[in-house]
Amino acid sequence: MNEIRDILKTMEYGPAPEDGSHVKTWLENHGRKIGHFINGRFVFPEKSKSFGCSNPGNGEKLAKIALGSKADVDSAAKAAAKAFKSWSALSGTQRARHLYAIARLVQKHARFLSVLETVDNGKPIRETRDLDIPLVARHFYHHAGWAELIDSEFAGCVPAGVCGQVIPWNFPLLMLAWKVAPALAAGCTVVLKPAEYTPLSAYAFAEICNEAGLPPGVFNLVNGDGSTGAAIVAHDAFDKIAFTGSTEVGRILRKQTAGSGKKLSLELGGKSPFIVYSQADIDAAVEGVVDAIWFNQGEVCCAGSRAIVQEGIADKFHDKLKARMEKLRMGDPLDKAIDIGAVVDPIQIENIEARVAEGKASGAQCWQPSWAGKQKPNAGCYYPPTLFTGVEPSSRLAQEEVFGPVIASMTFRTPGEAIELANNSRYGLAASVWSQNLDVAFDCARSLKAGIVWINSTNLFDAAAGFGGYRESGFGREGGREGMYEYLVPAWLKDAKKLPAAKPVPTPLPAPEAAGDGGIDRTMKMYVGGKQARPDTGYSYPVLDGKRKPVSQAGFGNRKDIRNAVEAANAASGWASMTGHQRAQVLYFLAENLEARADEFAGRLVRIDGDTKAGAKKQVGASVARIIHYAAWADKYDGAVRAPMANMLSLALNEPWGTMAISCPDDAPLLSFVSLVLPAIAMGNCVVVTPSQTNPLVIGDFYQVLDTSDVPGGVINIVTGERDALAGDMAKHDDIACHWYFGSAEGSKAVEEHSAGNLKATWVNNGKACDWYSLTQAQGREFLRHAVQIKTIWTPFGV
């Protein structure tokens, strides 16, 4: 009975369904067949394979979707390659107009797009209407701005080229916007593949492109599954691949694109901590959990899926959380008063159920609201909010993504323990930190290995704030200035020449105890942890002069030497905590001491590389200048402060990677070494370096200068030997977070391939030459950018 009196008794919500009829009409008008969008035309190839797409909210079949073949990918790639010429030739202002037009149309069709997204994905209309679609428009506006500003703000850069983009199903149109908007702003053209569960909004977006008058071929859409995605990644028309999805597939893509010269960005999974300190505003934190893990049914890569709660408040916190869970409303995603909609597919429900069963078997306590299981709104895929307490930090529930509305909670005693627990993960996407004590909150934010940290907040996004992970959550950023660089390359690189083949390292010999007579210098040792070290092999290799005559020997390093060097680098992390000013002072002193010994260094270069005296002097002079250049930068390569929301700041903080590997080329052995090592250490990294394999001796002289310049032991570790063999060992090492390789094309490929293990970031030259004397090519912001990873910290700024 719907008497007002009765309603007031229960205060139950009545149904508040959003009208789905426009979407129904749209689907009918398309004959419920959704194909591709290639070169400005909608096509459903006659003999195409297809697959079904349904509404997870009620199981209803929505449409038949074309499954893109290699041939479909090929025609889309050709269209994008053709369009690239004219699109990249437009002025930034002209491209900005197109992006602006798209943004306007997204707003105009906002209600339709929200319903379409909800129907296809199962997420509540409240979220698509208030979050997904407004953020899509926001992304196109923001990037219309970058297109307008591109000449002044990204001087010296050109578009990366033709882009292949593959996205997941959890935020279908938003992930499209994150990928397409920066690409088009930069002057790139695109072939995009949506996820198989959620192809509809991308198709509607293609219609918007047509409506906006975007030139044909600039945006192309190929529907399909993993095989279609793989065909995109393999196609050689692409200069850049951008991917969001599972870490498993990300790793496949890293290997598949190795050596291809394609730029790659990966936004992968996470197991993000949600840390609640005893000084937290508990009610706010409870509401935070709702947004962290029950937003989008927990199908969020940065979901706060691991609660880490201080022991003293844990019971109170869990009790309040349970009370709140009891009140969450799950049901028809089109109902405007629903908190939790449908999970994307029955298969996902099976996955979640299996993971929950496993969690129960592991001994953790599972709690669901009393209404769970009793309420089956319709034939859809629903899973109730679920809380596990007493979770073992090492259990699968605490370590691996569930990608569903399931949170695993554990407790800690001291702030140090909280950080340890939070960082005990192979992932590093996001984190949420709750404490009214800002000292505690910021200390935690700083110590977390995560690309995004939300202080007293969670799951906030904006086009101006970079998004992306540390560790196995991938590399590259989306959004903000940093996101634009993913679609740009230095202009000079486009016509860089191939590096000549390296001279092989002569056969190693057992090291002589103490040579030094008869014109032969003593054997150069390695330099690890601030001390000279003998090679593990006990072997050395002859270093030859310009006439291929042996003049000395250098240690022949192996995997064990790399391991020791990495350990020494890890132990020297105090370097990162020094201020930029303190590091600058050390670097200036280093330049001064090198300059004092300039003649000696020049002599070495003449003797071994057969340089002319003038040439050698020039190299030493340029090396001194380069050190000074990075000493200057050490306290100036700033991040950014942004104000994307009222009362919130987002800070883009440049953080060192930690331990980096650097493989130096053979040419200009002192200058190239300095050009690569200095930006890395100026930013606070510790490095494991292999110097030129043909002339390591000049670096042997250099570490003597390090000793006299207050560079702390372990900041620069030098292992001599065969570049490519050692590069392989470094690329495979799990404690190295980033690897720069400047050598052959094959060596570049091997580094990228082996980096897939821990998904370390790589920067390789693909066998291309760099003019180490050129101030455009060999120094400046490009090097600093690769020497840091950006952590985005969101913090309240006022109430």
Query: Rounded to whole angstroms, how far apart are CA atoms 514 and 484?
Result: 54
Q: Tell me how long the chain is.
A: 799
Residue 366 interaction partner, one of Mn ion, ligand NAD, none, beta carbon < 5-8 Å per kind: none
Query: Is 198 a residue that touches ligand NAD (CB under 6 A)?
Result: no
Query: Rounded to whole angstroms, how far apart are CA atoms 54 and 58?
Result: 9
Contact 296, 305 (CB under 8 A): no
Query: Is 238 a residue that touches ligand NAD (CB under 6 A)?
Result: no
Question: Distance of alpha carbon 473 from its chain centroid, rounded?
Answer: 7
Residue 440 interaction partner, one of ligand NAD, Mn ion, none, beta carbon < 5-8 Å per kind: none
Instruction: Round to the nearest angstrom and report the end-to-end CA distance of the chain.
Output: 43
Q: Is 762 left (phi over 0), alpha (psi -120 to 50) or beta?
A: beta
Which range in 221-229, 390-398, 499-507, 588-596 contacts ligand NAD by CB under 6 A? 221-229
Question: Residue 160 Cβ, how far from ligand NAD at the closest point, in Å?
Answer: 19
Query: Is 724 a residue that touches Mn ion (CB under 5 A)?
Result: no
Convert residues 342-381 into a mask of x (bound to ligand NAD by CB under 6 A) and - (unbound).
----------------------------------------
Structure-block tokens of residue 20: 């789905």
Would you call 392 helix, strand, or coil by DSSP? Answer: coil
The residues, ordered by sequence, that sit 6+ positions from 210 with a Cβ below 8 Å of its Cβ are: 40
Question: Residue 191 Cβ, how far from ligand NAD at the closest point, in Å?
Answer: 12
Query: Is 181 a residue that touches ligand NAD (CB under 6 A)?
Result: no
Residue 269 interaction partner, one of ligand NAD, Mn ion, none, beta carbon < 5-8 Å per kind: ligand NAD
> Of 117, 127, 196, 267, which residue is the catalytic one?
267
The CA-based diameter of the chain, rounded to the nearest angstrom, is 109
Residues 381-400 that bind Mn ion (CB under 5 A): none
Query: Is 195 a residue that touches ligand NAD (CB under 6 A)?
Result: yes
Query: Is 267 a residue that touches ligand NAD (CB under 6 A)?
Result: yes
Query: Where do we find the tokens 């290995």?
Result: 449
Q: How distant, in Å, are the alpha carbons of 411, 683, 796 from that of 455?
A: 19, 25, 7
Q: Which CB atom, from 196 or from 722, has the smaller least distance to ligand NAD?
A: 196
Residue 521 class from Cβ within 10 Å (0-12 exposed, 13-18 middle, 19+ buried)? middle
DSSP 129: I
Name the helix (H) or strand (E) containing 553: strand 550-555
Which range in 222-230, 273-281, 502-510, 651-659 contacts ligand NAD by CB under 6 A? 222-230
Query: Is 401 a residue that touches ligand NAD (CB under 6 A)?
Result: yes
Query: Is 245 a residue that touches ligand NAD (CB under 6 A)?
Result: yes
Q: Which of 141, 169, 203, 238 binds ligand NAD (CB under 6 A)?
A: 169
Q: In one letter, which amino acid is 261? A: G
Query: Is 196 a residue that touches ligand NAD (CB under 6 A)?
Result: yes
Which range in 162-170, 437-445, 496-504, 563-571 contacts ligand NAD by CB under 6 A? 162-170
Q: Which of 137, 176, 249, 756 binds ligand NAD (CB under 6 A)?
A: 249
Which range in 83-91, 112-120, 322-330, 386-394 contacts Mn ion by CB under 5 A? 112-120
Query: Rounded to whole angstroms, how far apart are CA atoms 34 and 52?
Result: 10
φ/ψ of residue 61, rounded to 5: -75, 135
Query: Is 120 a residue that touches Mn ion (CB under 5 A)?
Result: yes
- Residue 781's CB is within 10 A of a number of other CB atoms, namely 12
Would you call 476 helix, strand, or coil by DSSP? Answer: coil
Residue number of the CB atom closest to ligand NAD = 229
Residue 267 interaction partner, one of Mn ion, ligand NAD, none, beta carbon < 5-8 Å per kind: ligand NAD
Query: Is 265 a residue that touches ligand NAD (CB under 6 A)?
Result: no
Contact 764, 752 (CB under 8 A): yes
Residues 285-314 that bind ligand NAD (CB under 6 A): 301
Question: Residue 198 Cβ, how far from Mn ion at the closest point, in Å?
Answer: 5
Q: Which CB atom, from 194 or from 658, has the smaller least distance to Mn ion?
A: 194
Query: Is 53 a residue that touches Mn ion (CB under 5 A)?
Result: yes
Residue 753 annotated among the catalytic residues of the structure? no
∠ Cα 228 344 164 (to 5°): 25
Q: Which CB atom, from 124 or from 172, has the smaller least distance to ligand NAD?
A: 172
Q: Which CB atom, from 195 or from 290, has the smaller least distance to ligand NAD?
A: 195
Among 582, 739, 767, which residue's Cα sits nearest to residue 676?
A: 739
Query: Is 260 a residue that touches ligand NAD (CB under 6 A)?
Result: no
> Of 163, 209, 301, 302, which residue is the catalytic one?
301
Residue 301 annotated among the catalytic residues of the structure? yes
- Residue 223's CB is within 10 A of a number of other CB atoms, namely 28
Question: Distance of alpha carbon 550 from its chain centroid, rounded?
Answer: 46
Q: Which of 403, 487, 575, 740 binds ligand NAD (CB under 6 A)?
A: 403
Query: Rounded to whole angstroms, how far apart are CA atoms 271 and 93?
Result: 41
Which range in 50-58, 354-362, 396-404, 697-705 contacts Mn ion by CB under 5 A? 50-58
Question: Residue 539 Cβ, how far from ligand NAD at the closest point, in Å?
Answer: 42
Query: Is 233 a residue that touches ligand NAD (CB under 6 A)?
Result: yes
Query: Is 468 a residue that touches ligand NAD (CB under 6 A)?
Result: no
Q: Which CB atom, from 195 or from 648, has the smaller least distance to ligand NAD?
A: 195
Question: Residue 381 Cβ, how far from ligand NAD at the closest point, in Å?
Answer: 14
**Pure H helices in 187-270:** 200-211, 226-234, 247-257
Q: Is beta strand 550-555 parallel, antiparallel or unpaired with respect to 659-663? A: unpaired
Residue 399 interaction partner, one of Mn ion, ligand NAD, none, beta carbon < 5-8 Å per kind: none
Contact 167, 192 (CB under 8 A): yes
Question: Residue 453 Cβ, how far from ligand NAD at the closest point, in Å?
Answer: 17
Query: Rounded to whole angstroms, how far apart are CA atoms 212 and 201?
Result: 16
Residues 69-128 that bind ligand NAD (CB under 6 A): none
Question: Residue 55 Cβ, how far from ligand NAD at the closest point, in Å?
Answer: 18
DSSP 721: S
Query: Is 591 a residue that touches Mn ion (CB under 5 A)?
Result: no
- Residue-by-residue DSSP string for 29-92: HTTTEE-EEETTEEE--TT-EEEEEE-TTT--EEEEEEE--HHHHHHHHHHHHHHHHHHHHS-H
Within 13 Å and on the Cβ side, how many CA atoms surround 739? 34
Query: Rounded to whole angstroms, how far apart are CA atoms 715 and 468?
Result: 27
Q: Interface residues with ligand NAD (CB under 6 A)?
A: 166-170, 193, 195-196, 225-226, 229-230, 233, 244-246, 249, 252, 267-269, 301, 401, 403
* Catalytic sites, residue numbers: 267, 301
Q: Interface residues with Mn ion (CB under 5 A)?
A: 53, 120, 197
